[in-house]
Each structure stands twice: as structure tokens, then as C-alpha cells.
Amino acid sequence: MTVNVPTIEQVRAYPVTVDLVPTAGSCFGLGRNLSYDLARQGAFPCPVLRLGRRLVVTRAALLQALGEPTEATDGGAP
């Protein structure tokens, strides 16, 4: 199975939190089973939050794990 990896622009457009599967996993090229396995082991590439029964990841954590700045730069404008 092929995982469609989103562009950084697409990740920046995500809501504040996204589901572990398929959204966050796809950012790292991970499928469903491996994403859940890594989350269970505490080894997913960024922190995973449990909200009730849902496993979510923040957009900021995704960007940081991908080596991207979490805030848009505005050239120093006040």
C-alpha cells in the first residue's frame, strides 16, 4: 500500500489537531498499523495525545518533527 505524503503547505493548512491515522502517519510515510504500533510504544515521531478514544497530534508537533518552523515568518513586522 502506498501512502500519499502531504506537502509542507498542506500540513500548515491542517487544523490545530489531526487524527493519528491516517493524517499524522501519512506525514511520515507511515501506514495505519505502523502508526498505531509506534504510538503504543511511545515511539511515534512526535507526541501523541489521547482525547477520549481518539489519538491526535498537534499541527505544531508535526511541523517541528518535520524540521519546519511552527510560526510563519513575517519579515519582522510589528
pLDDT tens profile 23-61: 999 999 999 999 999 999 999 999 999 999 999 999 999
Q: Which residue from 32, 19, 31, 33 is spatially nearest to 62, judged by alpha carbons? A: 19
pLDDT at 14: 96
Q: Which amino acid is at 1?
A: M
Q: Would you say the pTM of this structure is higher than 0.75?
A: yes
Q: What percent of the chain has pLDDT over 90?
A: 81
At 70, is the pLDDT very low, low, confident or very high (cuts 50, 70, 90)?
Answer: confident
- Enumerate residues 6+ apart whose C-beta is below 8 A from 5: 26, 27, 28, 29
pLDDT at 76: 47
Measured distance CA(59)–CA(18) in Å, rounded: 7
Measured distance CA(35)–CA(31) in Å, rounded: 6
